[in-house]
């Protein structure tokens, strides 16, 4: 995860013609610090632990929406059907390789060595990202469990 300079996020917000507010900066900082994409609930927890105090549920949803709108963050669904939010810059690195999803323990493993297919689309279609997910059993669950 890259380390972000102090005023980095504020500059990004200004560049996107979006107001620079404390909640937005807090969310960006938190997402920048996180190793993984976070759910709304996880973000809320983080803020509750911070000295700056809790952040309203709805505000958090709306902040995240605004970050999606201006292209700073992206949203994906996890295995439970819950949205996870991630800085776009961080996400780009993860889109580049396949992921393994264990159907038993739910764990996710990066498959960096696996070849990604080339997009082969009908005329007029534009590809922005390709996601490959392999499902099955991880070493731990295949050996012992189920």
Residues in the site for a second copy, rule: CB under 8 A? 77, 79, 81-83, 98, 100, 103, 109, 111, 113-140, 142-143
Phi-psi region at 46: left, alpha or beta (left = phi > 0; alpha = psi -120 to 50): alpha
Q: What is the smallest separation between the CB atom of 139 and DNA, expressed in angstroms?
A: 27
Phi/psi of residue 82, each to 5°?
A: -110, 140
- Cα angle for residues 84, 52, 68 (degrees, 5° grid): 30
Q: For residue 30, which of 69, 4, 62 has the smallest C-alpha distance?
A: 4
Closest CB to a second copy among residues 60, 98: 98
Contact pick of 59, 103, 109, 129 for DNA (by CB under 7 A) = 59
Contact pick of 4, 8, 32, 39 for DNA (by CB under 7 A) = 39
Binding site for DNA (CB under 7 A): 13-14, 18-24, 39-41, 55-59, 61-63, 65-66, 80-83
């Amino acid at each position: 995860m890259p380390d972000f300079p102090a005023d980095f996020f504020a500059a990004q917000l200004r560049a996107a013609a979006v107001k620079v507010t404390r909640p937005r900066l807090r969310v960006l900082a938190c997402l920048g610090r996180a190793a993984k994409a976070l759910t709304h609930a996880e973000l809320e927890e983080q803020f509750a632990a911070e000295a700056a105090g809790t952040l309203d549920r709805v505000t958090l949803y709306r902040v995240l929406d605004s970050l999606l709108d201006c292209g700073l963050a992206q949203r994906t669904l996890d295995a439970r059907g819950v949205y996870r939010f991630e800085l776009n810059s961080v996400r780009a690195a993860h889109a580049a390789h396949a992921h393994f999803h264990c159907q038993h323990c739910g764990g996710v493993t990066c498959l960096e060595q696996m070849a990604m297919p080339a997009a082969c689309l009908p005329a007029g279609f534009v590809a922005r990202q390709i996601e490959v997910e392999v499902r099955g059993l991880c070493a731990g669950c295949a050996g012992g469990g189920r």
